[in-house]
Structure 1
Amino acid sequence: MVLTGTLVNGVTIIIGSLMGLLFHRIPERMKTTIMQALALAVVLLGIQMGLQTEQFLIVVGSLVTGAWAGERLRIEDGLESVGQWVEKRMGSSGTENTVAKGFVTATLVYVVGAMAVLGAMDSGLRQEHDVLFTKSMLDGFSALIFTTTMGIGVLFSFIPVVIYQGSIALFAVQINRLVPQEAMDTFITEMTATGGVMIIAIGLKLAGLLEIRVANLLPAIPMVAFFVFIIRLFGG
């Protein structure tokens, strides 16, 4: 089912939040070790995806041009500014805003990121949910941590996550029906490989080994479609 990965993601956020309400104190060493283990799993997933490429030049070209566009547009800076603005507007020191602050902060963490976009597209185009299943584990654990500090508002972040990722997955299904199968197969393969490189970057960032503006690489996905179109246009 197209929405399987998205629904699982929503459920893990709920479960993690409920567990966070029960466990108030988690040793810092345990948090670090679990997050590092998840980061290694994310890197492994990214490598597996990246090795699927059949036209490596498309991957390289898409990442380079996508990074250029992302840096020019300052996507990551823009997203951070939105997050800071929302938190400033809704997260004042009063206790009445605790629920809103938890909801907004968690939503930004779960929705703003390459894994949300790539995972939802993978669900819609290939009916493969590994990226969203991995994201679900990360989100569930972080929901537990967030809830211990920000309260029950974190739980309600599953609503925008399901709507956002579900919409992308359903849109990807429509694209799949309109584009010729041969072109779609090439796009899916190279989109998966290009996304895999971004997933590796996310894993390394989670492990604290590399600081990279992954959101600024997101334009690489539409660039894959552009290069596939150019190759087909000129009979490559």
Structure 2
Amino acid sequence: MAGVFIGAGTVVNVITVVVGSLIGIALGNRIPETTKSTVTAVLGLVTLVLGGMSVVAMNSEALREAVDGAAMLVVLAALLVGALLGSWLRVEDRLEQGAGWVRARFTASGDAARFVDGMVTATLLFCVGPLAILGSLSDGLGRGADQLLVKSVLDGFAAMAFASTLGWGVLASAGAVALIQGSLTAVGYFAGDVLTTAQVDALTATGGVVLLALGLRLLDLKQIPVGDLLPALLLAPPLVTLAAALI
């Protein structure tokens, strides 16, 4: 999205979490389940569109020239090796186990327990996921905040649902969103000075395939372990260099 500053996606995301939390606290437990399902399905479709738009970077002139037309092989290799590495490291399982450990670590009693449970649960939901990582990096790289804007809508409705039952702790998670996604955006910003245009395009295209997998999950069509694909994002840039040296 042109005309917005780097970091705008995180700012909007924080605002939607705050607004959604306040609405959820005000509404209580009155949000219909059908509404939540419909919104999730729409966001799944939009995530597929965003993934397709990102995959187009595979055809960029800079990437094609750098790897002599082998851009598809670079992205495929990044995804295959990344999936094998992610499965071996059990990234998806470890993310889920980490979320459970954090919840257990911050248990308390009474109102304090409800507040902390709301804050921790919402923070994990909003910050531990492919869209948070990919969207923040894309924003920092100057590729636009579209992915984070879609995530913001999803988080806004999720904040409403959680705050209606868990209360003010969900609102407190907005600070964690600002810190974590802001940090990832900064990483993307500084990585833009290190990575070549071809490497950024390979990273974008690889991330697009991961977004397609996430869209399928949101639509409940295929429960792909998206977390296990995340190592592919680290592999895509160096594979461009390797391919350029071999070709």
The residue aligned with 1:166 is 182
Contact 1:107 1:161 in 2 (8 A): yes
Q: 1:187 to 1:152 in 2, by over 3 A?
A: same
Matched letter for residue 192 of structure 1:
T
Query: Within 2, Cα distance between the matches of 1:232 and 1:59?
Result: 13
What displacement does 1:94 show?
Answer: 3.2
Q: Which amino acid aligns with 1:43?
A: L
Q: Is there any run of 5+ residues in structure 1 with no aligned partner, and where?
A: none
Give the structure 2 partner of residue 115 of structure 1.
Answer: 131
1:132 aligns with 2:148: yes
User: Which residue of structure 2 lines up, in the alignment, with residue 197 of structure 1?
Assistant: 209
What's the offset of the Cα at 1:100?
Answer: 0.5
Tell me which residue corresponds to 1:217.
229
Q: Does 1:96 align with 2:101?
A: no
Matching residue within 35, 39, 43 for 1:38: 43
Q: Deviations over 1:177-212 (max 9, x none)?
A: 234xxxx21122121111111111111111111111
Tell me which of 152, 159, 177 is aligned to 2:193: 177
Q: Secondary structure at the match of 1:126?
A: coil
Within the alignment, does 1:23 sit opposite 2:23 as a pair? no
- TM-score scaled by structure 2? 0.89
Deviation at 1:13, TM superposition (A): 0.7
d(CA) in 2 for partners of 1:71, 1:90: 29
In 1, distance between residues paired with 2:40 and 2:108? 29
Q: Decide whether the 8 Å contact of 2:74 with 2:243 is kept in 1.
A: no
Q: Structure 1 residue runs of 4+, over 4 Å off?
A: none
Offset at 1:214?
Answer: 0.6
Structure 1, 166-175 or 91-100: larger mean CA deviation: 91-100
The worse-fitting range, judged by mean Cα deviation, of 200-209 and 103-112 is 200-209
Q: Answer whether contact 1:126 1:188 (CA < 8 A) is retained.
A: no
Give the structure 2 partner of residue 148 of structure 1: 164
The aligned residue for residue 68 of structure 2 is none
1:106 aligns with 2:122: yes
SS at match of 1:209: coil
Which residue identity does 1:164 align to in structure 2?
I
Amino acid at match of 1:165: Q
Please tell me whether the aligned partners of residues 66 and 216 of structure 1 are also in contact (alpha carbons under 8 angstroms): yes
Question: Would you say the 8 A contact 2:16–2:152 is kept in 1?
Answer: yes
The residue type equivalent to 1:11 in the other structure is: I
Aligned-partner Cα distance in 2 for 1:124–1:133: 14
- Measured in 1, the distance between the counterparts of 2:57 and 2:237 equals 16
Tell me which residue corresponds to 1:2.
6
Distance in 2, matches of 1:40 and 1:33, equals 11
Q: Which residue does the alignment assign to 2:62?
A: none
**Distance in 1, Cα, partners of 2:108 & 2:134:** 33
SS in 2 for 1:178: coil
1:232 aligned counterpart, secondary structure: helix
Q: Percent identity?
A: 38
| Residue identity matched to 2:217 | K
- Which consecutive residues of structure 2, in runs of 5 or more, have no partner in the other structure? 60-70
Conservation of the 8 A alpha-carbon contact between 1:6 and 1:165: yes
TM norm structure 1: 0.93
8 Å CA contact 1:2, 1:127 repeated in 2? no
